[in-house]
A and B are shown apart, each in its own frame.
Chain A
Amino acid sequence: DARVTQTPRHKVTEMGQEVTMRCQPILGHNTVFWYRQTMMQGLELLAYFRNRAPLDDSGMPKDRFSAEMPDATLATLKIQPSEPRDSAVYFCASANRGTGELFFGEGSRLTVL
Chain B
Amino acid sequence: GENVEQHPSTLSVQEGDSAVIKCTYSDSASNYFPWYKQELGKRPQLIIDIRSNVGEKKDQRIAVTLNKTAKHFSLHITETQPEDSAVYFCAASLRGSYIPTFGRGTSLIVHP
* Interface positions of A (Cβ within 8 A of B): 31, 41-43, 45, 48, 56, 91, 95, 97, 99-102, 104-107
Contacts and interface: CB of A to CB of B under 8 A. Distances in A.
Interface residues of B, number: 19
Contact of B34 (A48, A56, A101, A107): A101
Interface in B23-52: 32, 34, 36, 42-46, 49
Nearest to A56: B99
**Interface residues of B: mostly helix, strand, loop or mixed?**
strand
A33 B44 CA distance: 13
Contacts, number: 42
- Count chain B CB atoms within 10 A of each CB in A41, A43, A95 and give the residue with the most: A43
A43 B44 CA distance: 10
**Interface residues of A: mostly helix, strand, loop or mixed?**
strand
Q: Which 10 A-B pairs have the closest CB atoms?
A: A104-B43, A100-B98, A42-B104, A43-B102, A42-B105, A101-B46, A100-B32, A104-B44, A106-B43, A97-B98
- Count chain B CB atoms within 10 A of each CB in A45, A91, A102 and give the residue with the most: A102
28 contacts: A31-B98, A31-B99, A42-B89, A42-B102, A43-B44, A45-B101, A45-B102, A48-B99, A56-B99, A91-B43, A91-B44, A95-B98, A97-B98, A99-B98, A100-B32, A100-B49, A100-B93, A100-B98, A101-B34, A101-B46, A102-B34, A102-B36, A102-B44, A102-B100, A104-B45, A105-B43, A106-B43, A107-B43
